[in-house]
Structure 1
Amino acid sequence: MDRREIAALLAYIGRLDPRTTRTDEGEAREQLAQWHHLLGDVPMATPHGWDALAVARHHYRTSPYAILPADVGRPWESYRRERLARHSDPTPTANPDDQAAYTAELVGNRRAVAAGTAQPAQALAITSARDGMDPALKARLKAIGSPIPPAARAALAPFRPARAAREAAVEQGLPDALSVRCEWCLAQPGEPCRRRRISPNDGVRAITPRATPHPGRLDLAAAQQAQSTEQAQQPALA
């Protein structure tokens, strides 16, 4: 606040509490200088929730004591801390290789949030619900059928053969072998089967993932799929 805003604040406080009014010109000038020195970096109001007049009014609604500069400065510091605590730095538009510009944009955004001239940027929460998904993203996902486009999936297939084999089996209507636990290598559901290399003294030398599941795991998945299909048909038959 500049000196004129401090004078307006003191005049408002004087209407709420005549005890703070200084009738002597020298005392009034000294009071104005003191408040300006302590609250010069505190704004009168911001577009996002801060109002020094409202702070003064709240003070006299909850306290019988005369207001002091700290009674305005303390809520302002709390206001700044609360806003910065809710702020997640968005990625600057400046070139990351230009460290000075990149840092300056980060600092400028934080100062604007702390000063109340900009709203805190909050990181979006990760959610599994698709109701709140962007309509354009939902339409694209419906068109391609998967978060991974087919071209990218095909390009990744050589680097994850177990996943590619699983997806190919599901597309052909075959049972998903990775949906059950392998009784041979003890791989848990969702994990590929493993190949053990045995040393001459019968110790396990290494364990590597298999591109294809063990035959027994395929049989177990097929039996489970048949059982699920039979259970699903029973209510319809009834």
Structure 2
Amino acid sequence: MDRRETAALLAYVGRLDPRTIRTDPGEARDQLAQWHELLDDVPMATPHGWDVLAAARKHIRTSPYQILPADVARPWESYRRDRLARHSDPTPSVDPDDQAAWTAELARARRAVAAGTAQPAQARAITSGRDGIDPRLKARLREIGSCIPPAARTALAPYRPTRAAREAAVAQGRPDPLGVRCGWCQAGPGEPCRRRLIGPDDGVRGTAPRSTPHPSRLDLAAAPQPQRSEQAQQPAST
């Protein structure tokens, strides 16, 4: 509030509680300076629920004590805390690699919510899927083609060879072997083939994922669609 708004608040409070009225000009100036010093960051009203006159009226109506600046500042701080507690930071629309811009956009959103000029952003449900993505993020995703940058994908390739081989096959126009069920180890679509782990007694101790699919799975993926369907229905050979 500026000084004129603070003076208007004092005049309103004086009408409701004459004990706050100062008839001496010097005392009135001191009272105005004190209230303005303590309430200069408290707005008169916001678009989303805050009204300083309502806060003052509530105190005068419910408390037998003379109103003080703190009786207005406390409700304002509670209002700010409540709004920030209900706010979930939305994903900024700027480049995530630009840390300064990313942080600045988050800070601007939080300040607007705390000041009452913007509504708290609620966390989207998991089921919202891609429909809830900011349109600007959608445009950027279409531009780069993937949420994983190409450099990061290349750096991750040694740590996920199966996925890297699958992506390389698709990029080269070859059939995706993980797109069909393996007739040998029965690995489902999208799952890597598995190999048996044999113990010292020649018994099967378990299985482990293979870095490459079984040859029969490669043949099945490369087969024409009608033939692929017929082979997928045949029982696996042992």
CA shift, 1:18, in A, is: 0.3
Q: Evaluate the alpha carbon distance shift between residue 197 and residue 5 of structure 1 in structure 2; reply closer, same or farther with a 3 A threshold.
A: same
Q: Structure 2 vs 1, CA of residues 204 and 29 (structure 1 numbering), >3 Å: closer, same or farther?
A: farther
Q: Find out whether 1:104 has 2:130 as its counterpart.
A: no
1:82 lines up with 2:82 in the alignment? yes
Q: How high is the TM-score relative to the length of structure 2? A: 0.60
Deviations 1:30-85 (A, max 9, x none): 11111111110010100000000000111122111111111111111111111111
Q: For residues 112-142 of structure 1, give each alpha carbon's deviation from its aligned partner in whole angstroms, at most 9, with x where no partner exists.
A: 11000111111212349xxxx99xxxxxxxx
The TM-score, its normalising length taken from structure 1, stands at 0.60
Separation (CA, whole Å) in 2 of partners of 1:111 and 1:94: 18
Find the aligned partners of 2:98 and 2:193 in 1 and give their Cα distance: 48
User: What amino acid maps onto 2:104 in structure 1?
Assistant: A
Residues 67 and 204 of structure 1: is their aligned pair in 2 closer, same or farther, counting only changes over 3 Å? farther
Alignment of 1:1-238 (within 5 A): 1-127=1-127, 161=178, 164-165=179-180, 196-201=196-201, 206-208=206-208
The CA deviation string for residues 72-101 of structure 1, in whole angstroms up to 9 with x for no partner, is 111111111111111111222233333322
Secondary structure of the equivalent of 2:22? coil
Q: Distance in 2 between matches of 1:24 and 1:112?
A: 40
Structure 2 unaligned blocks of 5 or more: 133-166, 215-232, 234-238
CA distance in 1, matches of 2:90, 2:177: 33
CA distance in 2, matches of 1:34, 1:62: 24
Deviation at 1:193, TM superposition (A): 10
Which whole-Å CA distance do the structure 2 matches of 1:165 and 1:35 have between them?
74
Which residue number in structure 2 is paired with residue 231 of structure 1? none
- Report the AA paired with residue 72 of structure 1: V
Counterpart of 1:208 in 2: which secondary structure? Answer: strand
Write the distance in 2 (CA, Å) between the matches of 1:101 and 1:196: 51
Q: Separation in 2 of the partners of 1:34 and 1:159? A: 75
Number of equivalenced pairs:
174
Q: Which residue identity lines up with residue 36 of structure 1 in the other structure?
A: H
